[in-house]
Structure 1
Amino acid sequence: MSEPEFSPEWLAVREHADAASRAARLLLLLRPHLVRSPDAADPGPGRAHPAAPPLVIRDLGCGTGAMGRWLAGRLPGPQKWILHDRDPELLARAVTGFDGPAEDGGTVTVVAERRDVTLLSAAELAGTSLVTASALLDLLTAEEVDRLAGACAGSGTPALLTLSVAGRVTLDPADPLDGDIAAAFDAHQRRSTGGRRLLGPDATAAATASFEGRGAVVHTLPSPWRLGAADAALTAEWLRGWVGAACEQRPELAPAAEAYLRRRLEACEAGELRVVVQHDDLLALPAGGAGR
């Protein structure tokens, strides 16, 4: 997989909105399926039992570690997080910026592993309690998503995959060019690049089919960004990227899009623009029930 570059600045500006948007209700369904590594052998009479083993959580495409900062304190500890990303700078930031403790005060430890997350196998996931990712599924191909589902199903590992783009954006007040920009952006998200055809807004449906085809129980909930006057910095950055991707896909939009972006940024700066960007969160629970 050739992963796109994301700047630490962009990841930082969106972290608060991401945290506010994730569907925390899915954690209630996840908890009974979290399995820790097997306990050590009984040490024998008169000897102390070892501490409980940690949950082992793999964060795919971790970026600066925002998913871990959101999730670690919502799960009981102890926890061992294995952070995966292609970008060494982001991995370094993720490790140093990781927060603890766990929900119950348990210790949270972190290790980094630079690798292609689409090539994880069921054997490599053995002993993993949870696979998680944020804003990743829509950047994958159908084959890569299917491979991930196969690895999780083969190892009996739950997967919590959040903030996949859904292809639905609402801006208030509306503008006649909204629909054209949105359609071009969605086409850009589904583009072919480097021999890979990205899923974009089709990612949640594709992942659901892949996991369910292997017997997993899949739950999805919306996780929209709801951006208002207090989110002007994020809204402005999102607008530039949204319009820029649309024009990259359909260059003939550029003349009208330049004026459109100017109008939208002016409204954003004045606190007059409201934006809802729809995402989906997906929880895939392995066949076999709680505790597998």
Structure 2
Amino acid sequence: MSVDDSILFAEWLRLREAADAAARAADLVDAVRARPAGPGPRVVHDLGCGTGSVGRWLAPLLPGEQEWTFHDRDEDLLARATAGMAGVRAADGAPVTVRTRRGDLTGLTAADLAGASLVTASALLDMLTVQELDRMVAACAVAGCPALLMISVTGVVAFTPAEPLDAEFAAAFNDHQRRTVDGRGLLGPDAVDACVAAFGRHGVPVRRRPSPWRLGPEQSDLTVAWLTGWVAAACEQRPELAGEAEAYLRRRLDQAAAGELRVELGHDDLLAGVD
């Protein structure tokens, strides 16, 4: 990722952080909180940490001393994530420490996760291939650590007001999410089902909860950024949509500016390994 791409991605993560936090399934966090962490600190591995939004959100919800490892391929994002954790404390005021690991998280093994109390990830699964997902699941299962995997897209989008073209753009975008990149066939909106099935093959129980974004006038900046990228990706996948895209996008952006547009964007959260 280039420096410019890293900055743009960090801005996108900043825009979505509050929406992600509001959408996450609270009862799954309650289940993590209720599970004894064992002797010593609670050890958490955050896969594809980005700017550290999961750590900033989850660490203050969990009691006891915590040791977080942030995993990402981008050095700038890891630096932002570490800086963003300054001053973060556990729910009971216990200290939270952070270390980073730069590299390809798809190569993680059970040995890398040895001693972990929890593995977390947010908006990650859809960017994996079947093989990469299976390796991640196997690493968690063999290491015996629970996994809280959040904000995974399901491909469901509902606009208010609705338009006939919504379904066409949604289908094209979902196909774009399943595209092949550098020989990697991404799971996109099929990732949640694939993840549940993969944990099932290891005999690991999974709880599944909806965690949709609900975007309205209060999230207009995020709505505009998401909608612009959504339409562009749909047109990249199906160039024949380009003739209608400009007018469609303009109508939707005008509705957002007037406070008239609402969007529900489907995600699911998963908690694996906690009965």
Shorter-chain TM band: over 0.9
Aligned-partner Cα distance in 2 for 1:34–1:223: 25
Query: C-alpha deviations, 1:1-29, integer Å up to 9, x for none?
Result: xxx96611110011010010000110222
* Cross-structure match for 2:41: 54
1:279 to 245, 262, 267: 267
* Cross-structure match for 2:251: 263
Any stretches of 5+ residues in structure 2 without a counterpart?
none
* Cross-structure match for 1:84: 71
* Cross-structure match for 2:22: 20
Alignment of 1:5-44 (within 5 A): 7-36=9-38, 39=39
Q: Identity across aligned pairs (percent)?
A: 58
For residue 174 of structure 1, give the secondary structure of its aligned residue in structure 2: coil
Aligned-partner Cα distance in 2 for 1:200–1:34: 33
Alignment of 1:40-189 (within 5 A): 53-98=40-85, 99-189=87-177
| Preserved contact between residue 126 and residue 191 of structure 2 (Cα < 8 Å) | yes
| Superposition deviation, residue 245 in structure 1 | 0.5
TM-score normalised per structure 1: 0.90
| Count of aligned positions | 269
For residue 26 of structure 2, give the secondary structure of its aligned residue in structure 1: coil
Between structures 1 and 2, the one with greater helix share: 2
| Superposition deviation, residue 123 in structure 1 | 1.2
For residue 63 of structure 1, give the secondary structure of its aligned residue in structure 2: coil
| Superposition deviation, residue 34 in structure 1 | 4.7
For residue 132 of structure 2, give the secondary structure of its aligned residue in structure 1: helix
Larger radius of gyration: 1
Query: C-alpha deviations, 1:244-274, integer Å up to 9, x for none?
Result: 1000000110010111001100100010000
Alignment of 1:214-229 (within 5 A): 214-229=202-217
| Preserved contact between residue 117 and residue 145 of structure 2 (Cα < 8 Å) | yes
Aligned-partner Cα distance in 2 for 1:163–1:82: 20
Counterpart residue identity of residue 172, structure 1? T
Aligned-partner Cα distance in 1 for 2:257–2:37: 48
| Superposition deviation, residue 176 in structure 1 | 1.4
Counterpart residue identity of residue 115, structure 1? G
Counterpart residue identity of residue 208, structure 2? T
Alignment of 1:233-248 (within 5 A): 233-248=221-236
Any stretches of 5+ residues in structure 1 without a counterpart?
40-52
Aligned-partner Cα distance in 2 for 1:8–1:242: 18
| Preserved contact between residue 33 and residue 158 of structure 1 (Cα < 8 Å) | no
Residue 274 to residue 24, structure 1, CA distance change in 2 (3 Å): same
For residue 231 of structure 2, give the secondary structure of its aligned residue in structure 1: helix
| Superposition deviation, residue 33 in structure 1 | 3.9
TM-score normalised per structure 2: 0.95
